[in-house]
Amino acid sequence: MNLYKYVSDAINATLGTPVNLEVPRNRDFGDFSTNAAMVMAKSAGKSPRELASEIATKLANLPFVADTSIAGPGFINIKLKDDFLIAPEKYNIVTPKSESFVVDLDYGSYNIGKALHIGHLRTTVVGDTFNRIARALGHKTKSYNHMGDWGRPMGLIIAWILEYGMPKNADDINVIYPASSARAKEDKAWLERAQKITVDLQNGNPEYLKIYNEFAPMSLAQISDILVRLNILPFDENKGERLVAEYVPAVQKILEEKQLLVSDAGAVIIPVKQETDTAPMPPVLWRSSTGAQTYAAADLAAIYYRTTTDKPNDIIYFTDNRQNLHFTQVFRAAKMAGMDSANLQHIGFGTITGADGKPFKTRDGDVPSLHQMVDMVADSVRARATESGKELSDKTIEIIALAALKFNDLMHDVKSDYVFDVDSVTQFEGRTGPYILYTAVRLNAVVKKAKDMHVLANTDIKTLQSEERNLLLRAMDFERVLENAFAQRATDMIANYTYDLCQLINTFYHNCPILRDDVPENVRAGRLHIVQIARATLLMAIDLMGLIVPDEM
Ligand code: ARG
């Protein structure tokens, strides 16, 4: 439920004009406040305090308002009724929008023949959560894994396979590209051969295509393994550089018609520099001098495909911020070509670093794969559990590890770098995934116990304690947080909201006994109702972050 909107709409309707509604930091005097009287006093020809008192009287008549008061030069504080907070006429955690957007999401976008590594964590986790949030709000999303499978890396892989044969087992898939690419650095002929293979592959060489067709599914299967392990929703389309190649000619035609293509030393480019640019703005490379389809051409072809088939309102790309320039260039070219019916937006991430501020490496100095990341976090969870004498199953440890890793990733503003420290993300207290899960497990246990004791929830409780009010108020803010997270493309909002909610849940839990013998029946039933609302909200938030609640902790 979006309580803020509910209250705001009612106030605006009563006053016949939209006014500012604020949530005061200190809620002792009111749950909401407005400066409406101060804003409207002049045109009403009244003093702010005089007008405030008139407005306050009107607002006090709203069915959900307990009382209003005036503070300072004319602020109006509004306190909501307890019986409304516990039982508003209807309570949906989230009501899907009737007017929804169509949103294409480009995240993950892995490269063929390369194991997923730490550099793919944020695009994967943030992209997946963003997708889930958008869907929960009722938007129609399509998630794209824009595979990097049609450029030079593929040429290097084919060159290697031609010489040494197809990989015999899954483990060998991801060693080919690094080996071949290392060789290309030393051996010019090898590089040229790979470049030639790339172009021939793109032009339909049957032998190379056969290798591609055999190799690509094996690589995709490996990618899918780690995505399943990370509890990431399957992509709607694994449509990348190869599969959009068929739209390159259509885009080429548009670019020619608009006279946007320029030959440049054997290559074909699209100049995108504008007079107002202060930073360097190189042209888009449309076709490389070897004759190969470029990274940018695949992106323009993908935009062509998406805008003509999905007709999205937005196309949002989640990658690290080293691609900022690439997307600026591509978006400009798309606009010049008139292929900008969708709002094109790139969200560029910061880097995950070690304590030294440099990109995070394993103890051996390697870039960790995502499997290694989960293993590392799981080891830390296991050690912690052993230390505190807890016996947790491997399955539970894995679930907690995932939460630790993913929640930590989500709680940081995507644009900034963050320091990754295994031992701090697995703490059971503080702003961590395990703390969130622990709170959910606790609520699950209360609900189960209440069921065993045949306690039923109801809303007959008439007055609320501050811990109860605060928890309900925050739970009723969930939908607004989701809307803001969607609008601002800020998944950290949901992670940090969830942490706040958990803190309020635990404060409530410690101060408001539920099933204890001495609790009056109506209070117990009311508290159980509050638990149910808090739990439903928390479980939904957890699900939107792609986390799983274990059976025990
Ligand atoms: N495959 C690219 C890489 O790993 C990322 C692709 C991002 N998405 C896109 N449409 N360009 O660098």
- The three-class DSSP label of residue 76 is strand
Which atom of ligand 1 is nearest the CA belonging to 330? Answer: 11
CA-closest residue to ligand 1 atom 8: 109
Distance (angstroms) between ligand 1 centre and the Cα of 293 equals 15
Quickly count: other Cβ atoms within 10 Å of residue 452's Cβ: 9
100 — pLDDT class (breaks 50, 70, 90) = confident
Q: What is the pLDDT of residue 259?
A: 97
Is the pLDDT reported for residue 99 higher than 90? no
Is the pLDDT reported for residue 90 higher than 90? no
Structure tokens at 7: 């209250």
215 — pLDDT class (breaks 50, 70, 90) = very high
pLDDT in tens, 250-266: 999 999 999 999 999 99
Q: What is the pLDDT of residue 462?
A: 86
423 — pLDDT class (breaks 50, 70, 90) = very high
The percent of residues above 90 in pLDDT, for the chain, comes to 95
Mean pLDDT score, 542-551: 98
Is the pLDDT reported for residue 26 higher than 90? no
Integer Cα distance of 395 and 410 in angstroms:
22
Is the pLDDT reported for residue 171 higher than 90? no
Q: What is the pLDDT of residue 98?
A: 85
Q: How far is residue 528 from each of residues 473, 498, 503, 504, 533, measured CA to CA in Å? A: 16, 20, 18, 15, 9
pLDDT in tens, 296-339: 999 999 999 999 999 999 999 999 999 999 999 999 999 999 99
106 ligand 1 Cβ < 6 A: yes
Integer Cα distance of 81 and 86 in angstroms:
9
Q: What is the pLDDT of residue 290?
A: 92
Is the pLDDT reported for residue 219 higher than 90? yes
294 ligand 1 Cβ < 6 A: no
Is the pLDDT reported for residue 89 higher than 90? no
Distance (angstroms) between ligand 1 centre and the Cα of 105 equals 12
Distance (angstroms) between ligand 1 centre and the Cα of 348 equals 12
DSSP 447-497: HHHHHHTT----S---S--HHHHHHHHHHTTHHHHHHHHHHTT-THHHHHH
Please check whether residue 457 is in contact with residue 528, taking contact to mean a CB–CB distance below 8 angstroms: yes
pLDDT in tens, 193-211: 999 999 999 999 999 999 9
529 ligand 1 Cβ < 6 A: no
pLDDT in tens, 442-481: 999 999 999 999 999 999 888 999 999 999 999 999 999 9
Residue 444's nearest CA partner among 544, 534, 543, 541 is 534
pLDDT in tens, 136-151: 999 999 999 999 999 9
Q: What is the mean pLDDT of the chain?
A: 96
| Substitution site in 146, 303, 320 for ligand 1 pocket (most atoms within 8 Å of beta carbon) | 146
Report the chain's C-alpha Rg in angstroms: 28
| Substitution site in 109, 235, 293, 344 for ligand 1 pocket (most atoms within 8 Å of beta carbon) | 109
117 — pLDDT class (breaks 50, 70, 90) = very high
Is the pLDDT reported for residue 25 higher than 90? no
What lies within 8 Å, CB to CB, of 218 at 6+ separation is 167, 170, 173
Mean pLDDT score, 397-421: 97
Which atom of ligand 1 is nearest the CA belonging to 120? Answer: 4
28 — pLDDT class (breaks 50, 70, 90) = confident
pLDDT in tens, 2-19: 999 999 999 999 999 999
- Its pTM stands at 0.96
Q: What is the pLDDT of residue 132?
A: 98
Mean pLDDT score, 56-64: 96
Which atom of ligand 1 is nearest the CA belonging to 326? Answer: 11
Q: What is the pLDDT of residue 170?
A: 79
- CA angle centred on 147, ends 146 and 149, rounded to 5°: 140
Which atom of ligand 1 is nearest the CA belonging to 114? Answer: 4
Integer Cα distance of 126 and 322 in angstroms:
17
Which atom of ligand 1 is nearest the CA belonging to 111? Answer: 1
Which atom of ligand 1 is nearest the CA belonging to 302? Answer: 10
Q: What is the pLDDT of residue 91?
A: 86
Integer Cα distance of 406 and 425 in angstroms:
9
